């Protein structure tokens, strides 16, 4: 493995971060206003004979909530400006590393796919070999081939004994079914 990766110099990169401070300058005035609105409408039960007024009240309260939410979102957007700038810088900075990683990943996946195809070929050959001189058609085991072709069943390209035993067991079971059918 590369010495550059082993050293993990990323830990040494210094980034200064200062959390944003939010000061609510008229906090008490804001709370008093909310309390006043709540006190005026708390426990209010809409009535059929007052539905028009209740709808207007609901619209005013919804409008107030919309305005408060809009201001909160505006503040959040302003607070997030430094992070958004950092994130943009960060994504540009790591793009070359992501490209290298993607290239290596694609190469590894290609090799692994080629190796799996080679293992599948070995499994097919093994099935043909083990079913030769029997009445069993090796093609009936096609749905097992992907599972049998897993890397864990092989030492490089040579099948492990447990794989051969597993295939033999399934073939013997099929031979027994044929004998019973006869």
- pLDDT at residue 161, as a whole number: 94
Predicted local confidence at residue 12, as pLDDT: 67
Q: How far is CA 178 from CA 20, 27, 65, 170, in A?
A: 77, 86, 77, 13
pLDDT above 70 as % of the chain: 93
pLDDT tens digits, 17-31: 888 788 889 999 999
Report the distance separating Cα 163 and Cα 161, nearest Å. Answer: 5
pLDDT in tens, 151-161: 999 998 899 99
Please state the rounded mean pLDDT for residues 132-157: 91
Task: Compute the C-alpha angle 51/54/59, nearest 5°.
Answer: 125
On average, the pLDDT of the chain sits at: 90
- The first and second tokens of residue 159, run together, are 């099948």
Please state the pTM of the whole predicted model.
0.60
pLDDT in tens, 41-55: 999 999 999 999 999
Looking at per-residue pLDDT, the higher value among 112 and 4 belongs to 112
- The helix/strand/coil state of 155 is strand
């Amino acid at each position: 493995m590369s010495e550059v990766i082993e050293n993990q110099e990323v830990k040494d990169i210094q980034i200064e971060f200062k959390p944003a401070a939010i000061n609510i300058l008229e906090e008490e005035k804001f709370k008093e206003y909310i309390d006043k609105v709540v006190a005026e409408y708390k426990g209010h039960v809409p009535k059929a004979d007052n539905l028009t007024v209740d709808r207007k009240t609901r619209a005013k309260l919804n409008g107030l909530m919309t305005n408060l939410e809009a201001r909160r979102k505006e503040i959040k957007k302003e607070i997030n400006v430094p992070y958004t700038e950092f994130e943009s810088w960060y994504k540009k900075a790591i793009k070359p590393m992501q490209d290298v990683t993607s290239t290596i990943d694609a190469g590894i996946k290609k090799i692994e796919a080629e190796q799996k195809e080679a293992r599948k070929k070995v499994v097919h050959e093994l099935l043909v070999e083990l079913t030769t001189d029997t009445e069993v058609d090796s093609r009936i085991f096609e749905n097992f081939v992907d599972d049998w072709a897993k890397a864990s069943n092989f030492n490089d390209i040579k099948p492990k004994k447990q794989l051969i035993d597993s295939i033999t067991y399934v073939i013997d079971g099929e031979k027994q079914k044929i004998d019973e059918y006869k």
